[in-house]
Every structure is written in C-alpha cells, then in structure tokens.
Amino acid sequence: MSSFRVGQGFDVHPLVAGRKMVLGGVVIPSPKGLLGYSDADVLMHAICDALLGAAGLPDIGQYFPPSDPRFKDADSSILLSQVCEELLKAGFEAIVNIDCVVMAERPKLNPHIPAMKKRIAEVLRISESQIAIKATTCEKLGFVGREEGIAASAVCLISRHD
C-alpha cells in the first residue's frame, strides 16, 4: 500500500543590481538578480521546502544554513539534488508532482518556463510533465509590484510504500 504526503514551500529574495538572475536553475537575462547567501533561486528553494515539508523533515535552512561557508553562492540545483537524497533516505520513493508559482513584475518569465521545467526535472530525475510552473505579476502591489524582490511558492505530492 502506498501513502501520499503533501508539502508546501515559499521563498522570497530581494532584487539587486550586480547579481545574476537564476530561477528554476536557469540564468535569465535581467539588469537585476536575486540577493541571497546561495544563488538565491527562489523557485528551487520553494521546491526544496515543499519536498522537505511533505516528508516531515526540517526546512531548507536546517540543511543549508547561511552560516555555513560551503553554501556561499551555491548552485541551488545542487541543494535540490541533496533534498532529493534526503527524501530517499526518509523512505520516500516518488515525487508524484510539483506545482509552482513565481511572482515577479520583471523580467517576463513565461519564455523561460520550458527551460526551468527541464532543469528541475533533470535534477529530480522526474518527467517534465510532473512539474507545473506559472508566472504572475502582483499588479504593481507590494514588494514584488515595486520590483524590490521576487517570490515563489510550491506544492508537491510525494509517495512511499508502507
């Protein structure tokens, strides 16, 4: 018999000049990038927390603390891969699906979604059809609307045999 678990994740990082923009493991042309200890990939971080939460494991900050110099400017694809390994250690055999939303006024993200899905699927060793990514603006409201930052949320379903 299989059991299923749902998890959700959320992340936000400020936008600053002089940093590259990385979302979903893809470098996106932009005059500003996301500021954070790692590469600040809010989409990958939200997915990490969704997967960890579904498995009942600690959040991303417990596994990759900003106080640890190993994670300075770290590629979030590597962090997501390590989260996948933690799921396997915890006895979870499959990621059923992941559904995400990225909130940004600019740059326009829709042209980059296929590449993001491809990269995330490669890292997690799942099919692109198991991943949904939507991009939305915040209609000029709040920190996202003022282009001060970008946020992402993710929901996932994982399974294991009992």
- Digit-coded pLDDT (tens) for 43-57: 999 999 999 999 999
- Between 42-54 and 76-89, two packed helices, what is the crossing angle to 10 degrees? 10
Q: For residue 97, what pLDDT is reported?
A: 98
pLDDT tens digits, 150-159:
999 999 999 9
pTM metric for this prediction: 0.97
Spatial distance between the Cα atoms of 84 and 54, rounded to a whole number of angstroms: 12
Give the confidence band of 36 by pLDDT, cuts at 50, 70, 90: very high
Spatial distance between the Cα atoms of 155 and 45, rounded to a whole number of angstroms: 12
Which superfamily is assigned to 2-161 in CATH?
2-C-methyl-D-erythritol 2,4-cyclodiphosphate synthase (3.30.1330.50)
pLDDT tens digits, 55-72:
999 999 999 998 898 899
Q: How many CB atoms neighbour CB 8 within 10 A?
A: 14
- The answer to whether residue 162 scores a pLDDT higher than 90 is no
